[in-house]
Amino acid sequence: MKGSSDERYFIPILAVFDMVVTIYCGIFLIIQCFYTVTFTNNALCKTAQFFAGFTTFIPILLLLIIAVQRYLKVCMPNKPAMSLRVKRFALILTIVVSLVCAFPLPFVYGSIPFHSVTYGITGTNCGKLKDGQQIARAVYAIVIGFLAVAMVTTLIVLYSKIGCVVVRQFKLNKLNSDREEVRKSEKKIDNKEVSDIGQNGGIPTPVTSDADSNISNTSLVKNHQITLTGSKRRQKSNRRITHKLTIMFFVITLVFVLSYLPKVVLLIIEGLYDDFWEKVSNKERPGAFFIYEMFIINNIVNPFIYAFMDIKFRKKATVFLSRVLHCRF
């Protein structure tokens, strides 16, 4: 989206990483389903878990940066917006932090023996290691859990403040619109009364020696009013775009929280009970797997939210895909 305003800077970046997560994690999850008890390649498991974590952390951190950008844009409109340099630095910082968060995953995950006493199943799957480095795993789980709670809390606080400002501005715009309608109605009534007086033989206004001056002043006033009207329209249009994109990012963040919260709960349960997966029944296992991997719904749904709520993004994406695929939509 070259040439777009700073409003949409992070949208194509977030869309790209959503696509990467959807494709990569989708393929990895399908492989895990096919090799639930026969995943014997330890190196592949560790590498796959690292990249799954890395590609997943980036969109999450991008949502936090977007929330901060929305807060500055809506709640602090008089202060300078994020510069291009700050945005690029934030993007680089997001990648670095994601690498740091994903780095311990190869030490936490690996091919582990699986044995179910209840169903008599023995095999190997790709999951959390149970032997060795228990303190390191516990510290990592605590840090990630703390970061998750802190991030969700920050998102809730930021979007709550943004929501209050947006609602207040909507009410103010409605009040101003009502006043404008009343003013226009009164003006129409006055013009009608003047027209009726002229048609009923009213006394015409004599032309004075200052007629040319009055005409000139009237013309200047009209031009000034037109300029003010155009400026107000631009401000109103910019404010409307800001509010629309803010609502879009709020919906994306809400979907993110709803998609990741069940997995966080399941991770806590998994950490408390080492033999959790061994004790899960065949009827409960599909539901548990669905909850464990439902975070990918966030990345799948996001492009549809962009397309539905951002017409400009939809048009740009259509042109891009048309050029890439050499076809017309």
* pLDDT given at position 185: 66
Query: In degrees rounded to 5, what are phi and psi of residue 110?
Result: 175, 180
**DSSP track, 135-184:** HHHHHHHHHHHHHHHHHHHHHHHHHHHHHHHHHHHHHHHHHHHHHHHHHH
Say whether pLDDT at 206 is over 70.
Answer: no
Say whether pLDDT at 329 is over 50.
Answer: no
* pLDDT given at position 182: 63
* pLDDT given at position 3: 46
| Predicted TM-score of the model (pTM) | 0.71
**DSSP track, 192-234:** HHHHHHHHTTPPPPPP-TTHHHHHHHHHHHHHHHHHHHHHHHH
Q: Choose from 126-135, 253-262, 311-320 the range with maximum mean pLDDT.
A: 253-262
Rounded to the nearest integer, the mean pLDDT of the chain is 75
3-state secondary structure of 275: coil
* Average pLDDT of the residues in 257-277: 76
The amino acid at residue 108 is V
Choice between 213 and 181, residue whose per-residue pLDDT is larger = 181
Among 161-175, 220-234, 288-302, whose mean pLDDT is lowest? 220-234
* pLDDT given at position 183: 67
* pLDDT given at position 177: 65
Q: What is the pLDDT of residues 166-175, one digit of tens each?
A: 778 777 766 6
* Average pLDDT of the residues in 56-73: 88
Choice between 89 and 264, residue whose per-residue pLDDT is larger = 89
**CATH number at 6-185+239-315:** 1.20.1070.10
Q: What angle do CA 264, 250, 255 make, to 5 degrees?
A: 35
Q: What is the pLDDT of residues 77-96, one digit of tens each?
A: 787 778 889 999 999 999 99
Residue 100 — very low, low, confident or very high, per pLDDT cuts 50/70/90?
Answer: very high
